[in-house]
Chain A
Amino acid sequence: GEDVEQSLFLSVREGDSSVINCTYTDSSSTYLYWYKQEPGAGLQLLTYIFSNMDMKQDQRLTVLLNKKDKHLSLRIADTQTGDSAIYFCAQGDDYKLSFGAGTTVTVRA
């Protein structure tokens, strides 16, 4: 979507941390989301962050939000082969989400 931008590709070694970045334009969204899509599957919600928060940690996932710069990032600690997928950041309210183009994460041994 034109309102949300992400880098397209990320290659990471197994066991390292992955950081996926996203910028957005609509500062009015109450929540921002990270979704994961594996081949042949729909989207799975990984985590979300309330727009008034700076950081949220959920097991291996850490979300950082810089509201001033409209920048959102997702860090995956100890990246595993099962983390290979496309990751989408999304924003929106009222059941109408705008998605970024998706970042394809490839985990190499």
Chain B
Amino acid sequence: KAGVTQTPRYLIKTRGQQVTLSCSPISGHRSVSWYQQTPGQGLQFLFEYFSETQRNKGNFPGRFSGRQFSNSRSEMNVSTLELGDSALYLCASSPGGSSSYNEQFFGPGTRLTVL
């Protein structure tokens, strides 16, 4: 099976712009989670989607949004970019469904730099 893919791998934007990142989960996986990784804050949970619905949400401002399509692919959008949004954005996929065991398979990430 192909792993989790994220596009683009690298992105440079300027303050005030918006950006859309894409994640394709492992075939058959229905849950997609997004994380932000920065040197200062570490790995922080953004949100999780399952069957096109946002099921969980972290503590990020409304500038951060996402969606999931019927094929389970997911996108996240950040509007009005700030310098502090520079980070590695990681996507993870899971089979989904009701389970307390949450093995998440991570993609390589998208490195966003905001100038």
Residues of A within 8 A of B (CB): 1, 30-31, 35, 40-45, 48, 88, 92-102
Considering the complex of A and B, which 9 residue pairs feature the smallest CB-CB distances, nearest first? A42-B106, A30-B100, A99-B43, A43-B106, A95-B48, A101-B42, A96-B56, A42-B108, A96-B45
**Are A100 and B42 within 8 A (Cβ)?**
yes
- With an 8 Å Cβ cutoff, the count of chain B residues facing the other chain is 27
State in angstroms the CA–CA spacing of A42 and B105 once bound together: 9
State in angstroms the CA–CA spacing of A20 and B102 once bound together: 22
Which residue on A lies nearest to B94, using beta carbons? Answer: A95
- Most chain B CB within 10 A, of A1, A88, A96, A98, is at A96
Residues of B within 8 A of A (CB): 4, 31, 33, 35, 42-45, 48, 50, 55-56, 58, 90, 92, 94, 96, 100-109
Instruction: Given A42-B109, A44-B106, answer yes or no on A95-B101 (Cβ-Cβ < 8 Å).
Output: no
Contact among A30, A43, A96, A99 with B101 in the assembled complex (CB-CB below 8 Å): A30
